[in-house]
Amino acid sequence: MSDITGAPHPLAGKRILICGKGGSGKSTFVALAAGSLLRRSYEVLVLDGDASNPEGLVRLLFGGGVEAEPRPLIDFFGGIDVVTCPVDDPAPLTRVGDTRPVPEYRVDLERELPAEYFLADRRLRLLQAGKIAQYGQGCDGPVEKVVRDFMVQGEAAQLIDTKAGVEHFGRRIPDRVDLLVTVLDLTLESVSIAARVARFCEAAGIDRLFFVVNKVGAPEATALFRDKLGPEGERVIGYVPFDPRVQEASLLGGTVPEGAAAAEIAKIFGRLEEAVGPSR
């Protein structure tokens, strides 16, 4: 796919899973990545798959708070008491009153999904799989099934923000994605996460795994981190610099600003386009 100017869109229609440890900056990375794709004239769909993080992408992308969150997608599929955990029941997600699997009969956003389920601004849409809303709500496995199986018609590049850690691998969420990007920060925990994610992907036969190192400061620390990564360092496709303006926005609220971090993320998505190859 390409736009009217002829610019190629290799990531059109692709599901890109963004994961990593808590505090690595996944949501901020997703927000800046969405901006990069919009500047490339993509249609962009962002799926907030983190059941724990309040506000998150609603603030980073639209400047709103909890009150501005769209209705959770799990309600569209019958709610937390109807959708099953992908571990207890691996069967694919289905619509209410329809036994056909969503991954095979993808959702038509324009015709099927009411406006209350998303926030939109021109070529950008933000949806939420679901949130932990009350004490004692129970396992978030049903929300993870929505993350795994919510697949849509059309050519939007899809960015999926996950919960922290590697639990989604245990629930086989990566089975239905095209690219997997793990956001690392300069910690030993991220080194461990990188090794574990690489091992999981090898076992699952997932080839398109990439690492991004986020919030990079001193060159000495970066070099040490690269050494700690060992062979997994070959999968690193970019080093996003620490941007104090992004940190300030995270503290004060409001949308995430463009700057040095956004510029590097734009380059990273250029590399992802190259890895995918020519547009369809």
Structural domains present in the chain: 15-276 (3.40.50.300)
Question: ∠4-6-10 over CA atoms, to 5°?
Answer: 110
pLDDT tens track for 214-265: 999 888 888 899 999 999 999 999 999 998 888 777 777 778 788 899 999 9
Q: Is the pLDDT of residue 59 over 50?
A: yes
The pLDDT of residue 7: 59
- Mean of pLDDT values over 5-29: 87
DSSP string across 26-38? HHHHHHHHHHHHH
**Residue with tokens 């724990």, as numbered in its chain:** 52
The rounded distance, in Å, linking the Cα atoms of 255 and 68 is 13
Burial status of residue 20 (CB atoms within 10 A of its CB: 0-12, 13-18, 19 or more): buried
Percent of the chain with pLDDT strictly greater than 90:
68
- Average pLDDT of the chain is 90
- Mean of pLDDT values over 29-54: 92
pLDDT tens track for 166-188: 888 888 999 999 999 999 999 99
Q: Can you state the percent helix, strand and coil of the chain, rounding each to 5?
A: 40, 20, 40
Contact 47, 158 (CB under 8 A): yes
Q: Is the pLDDT of residue 123 over 60?
A: yes
